[in-house]
Amino acid sequence: MSAASCPALFLSAPASGQGKTIVTCGLARLLTRLGKTVRIFKTGPDYLDPQILEQASGQPVVQIDLWMAGEEWCQQQFYLAAQVADLIIVEGAMGLFDGEPSSADLAAHFNIPVALVIDAKGMAQTCGAIAAGLASYRDDIDIVGLIANKCGTNRHKELIEEALPESIPLLASLENSEDLALPERHLGLVQASEVTDELERRFELAADYFQAEGVGEILEKFRPVNFYPTSVPEVNPQLQGVKIGVAKDAAFSFIYECNIQLLRDLGAEVYFFSPLSDAHLPEIDALWLPGGYPELYAKQLAENKTLLEELKDFFQGDRPILAECGGFLYTLETLTDLENQQYPMAGLLSGHGAMRGKRGCQGMQTLPLPEGEVRGHAHHRSRSDETAEPIAFGRRQRHVAPGEAIYRQRRLTASYLHLFFPSNPDAIARLFKASNKH
């Protein structure tokens, strides 16, 4: 099969918090206004940014990570997008060179040009020094321009432009305005479904800024990139006819769309339900309780007693359950929320969950499950106490210390880790396979 070519641009920055997401959203919104189909990829294991990016572009957003997903899987996702998109934008994670693999590694691997996003508040000519330093740090990436965020005045913009090397032009700027800031909370950005109208207003405003400056120079930096098909193994339908219930609502929304697609490729029938509002589980053989924000809805979850009783019956029936992070907290005896109020949870596992301050745990890990190794990541600001002995611990990507504890009671598998199902489809099939389904 031949390559699919599509103009692409990688938006990265010297650090987190520079405004990559609002820049990506504003640019994508303007391009969609112009009739372009824009496919956005988000670097790393992020759940919140992709929700927002999807709303801005009107297209599905795929998380892309060379370690968690593997080179061939990432390449296949780009290849598929290139066949339907007019333009591809990749939003980086953290700073350009942060992490292993980093945004720079991803850009270099797929030969995608990089535009820097820099928060210019409190500096001017120094933007030029930062851009020049980033551009010269490695010779396998191509930095093609700068987008300045939080510019105070036209003169501020001029000072930045004058200080940039000729090879790194100023492509555009956004004003220093609170109206362009995206709503945040303790784990990052607020979920798109909670602030849809507010996000729309900010997307349109950012798009207006780009339109006023003209996007011609930015469009010139989208370089055609050839994305090639890969020999990703075909998934065997090992879960044919297995009905899997997936918790999905404001409390449980940290779901990779590619995880859902893999379950369907494995032959499973997927049924969504809401632990917040549904009194009964759907008629299912297995259950997935993903991460999310149960701490924000602990009282409402605790009051849905009928569903909690059905969860206990499901657990006692030795049917498969996967509980990740927020889903894991939901399976414990109690959960203490951000206001230090304690509420009863499902009590499938012994132990108590509680939120803590700003310090948290995050990072890539491999889960050595009895069914096989699956890659994933941790990102939480809670703790669990008085839990049972774990069956294993996650293996950190770059550190010898034990990772997150993994618990197994009956057919329930629980951990703080979020699994990336495509990293081992066979293990996922074994994990969800009901005892009466062969």
In a domain, 48, yes or no: yes
My answer on whether 259 and 217 are in the same domain is no
pLDDT digits (tens, 9 = 90+) for 387-437: 999 999 999 988 788 889 999 999 999 999 999 999 999 999 999 997 644
Using CB atoms within 10 A of its CB, is residue 234 exposed (0-12), middle (13-18) or buried (19+)?
exposed
Mean pLDDT of all residues in 128-144: 97
My answer on whether 28 and 103 are in the same domain is yes
My answer on whether 222 and 274 are in the same domain is no
My answer on whether 70 and 219 are in the same domain is yes
My answer on whether 273 and 311 are in the same domain is yes
C-beta neighbour count of 54 within 10 angstroms: 18
**CATH label of the domain that carries residue 13:** 3.40.50.300
pLDDT digits (tens, 9 = 90+) for 217-226: 999 999 999 9
My answer on whether 215 and 264 are in the same domain is no
The whole domain housing 198 covers 4-227
My answer on whether 95 and 209 are in the same domain is yes
> CB neighbours of 174 closer than 8 A, spacing ≥ 6?
19, 22, 23, 26, 147, 148, 149, 150, 151, 180, 206, 209
pLDDT for res 177:
82
Instruction: Give me the chain's average pLDDT, please.
Output: 92
pLDDT for res 438:
35
Task: Report how far residue 53's alpha carbon sits from residue 47's, in angstroms, rounded to the nearest whole number.
Answer: 10
pLDDT digits (tens, 9 = 90+) for 276-290: 999 999 999 999 999
pLDDT digits (tens, 9 = 90+) for 349-393: 999 999 876 555 678 899 999 999 999 998 877 888 889 999 999
My answer on whether 287 and 154 are in the same domain is no
Q: Per-residue pLDDT for 74 more than 50?
A: yes
Band of residue 338 on the pLDDT scale cut at 50, 70, 90: confident
pLDDT for res 302:
97
Kindly list the distances between the CA atom of residue 431 and the CA atoms of 321, 356, 369, 421, 435, in Å, as whole numbers in the listed order.
8, 31, 9, 11, 11
Band of residue 116 on the pLDDT scale cut at 50, 70, 90: very high
Lowest mean pLDDT among 1-10, 194-203, 295-304: 194-203
Give the residue among 42, 87, 34 at the shortest CA–CA distance from 62.
Answer: 42
In a domain, 87, yes or no: yes
Task: Report how far residue 376's alpha carbon sits from residue 87's, in angstroms, rounded to the nearest whole number.
Answer: 29
Mean pLDDT of all residues in 53-60: 94
Rounded to two decimals, the pTM is 0.91
Looking at the DSSP bridge assignments, the partners of residue 89 are 9, 40
In a domain, 238, yes or no: no
Where is pLDDT greater, at 360 or 335? 335
pLDDT for res 113:
98
pLDDT for res 135:
97
My answer on whether 102 and 131 are in the same domain is yes
pLDDT for res 184:
59
Mean pLDDT of all residues in 33-45: 95
Amino acid identity of 33? R
Mean pLDDT of all residues in 130-156: 96
**CATH label of the domain that carries residue 309:** 3.40.50.880
In a domain, 372, yes or no: yes
Looking at the DSSP bridge assignments, the partners of residue 245 are 271, 287
In a domain, 235, yes or no: no
pLDDT digits (tens, 9 = 90+) for 240-252: 999 999 999 999 9
- Percentage of residues in the chain with pLDDT exceeding 90? 79
- Tokens found for residue 423: 């990293």
My answer on whether 195 and 247 are in the same domain is no
Task: Report how far residue 383's alpha carbon sits from residue 285's, in angstroms, rounded to the nearest whole number.
Answer: 30
pLDDT for res 185:
47
Give the residue among 309, 311, 421 at the shortest CA–CA distance from 371.
Answer: 421
pLDDT digits (tens, 9 = 90+) for 265-275: 999 999 999 99
3-state helix, strand, coil in the chain (%, to 5): 35, 30, 40
In a domain, 197, yes or no: yes
pLDDT for res 437:
44
Q: Per-residue pLDDT for 182 more than 90?
A: no
My answer on whether 211 and 330 are in the same domain is no
Task: Report how far residue 414's alpha carbon sits from residue 424's, in angstroms, rounded to the nearest whole number.
Answer: 17
Mean pLDDT of all residues in 109-133: 97
Q: Per-residue pLDDT for 106 more than 70?
A: yes
| Total domain count, the chain | 2
| Active site members | 325
Mean pLDDT of all residues in 52-67: 94
Domain boundary among 193, 227, 261: 227
pLDDT digits (tens, 9 = 90+) for 226-242: 999 988 788 999 999 99
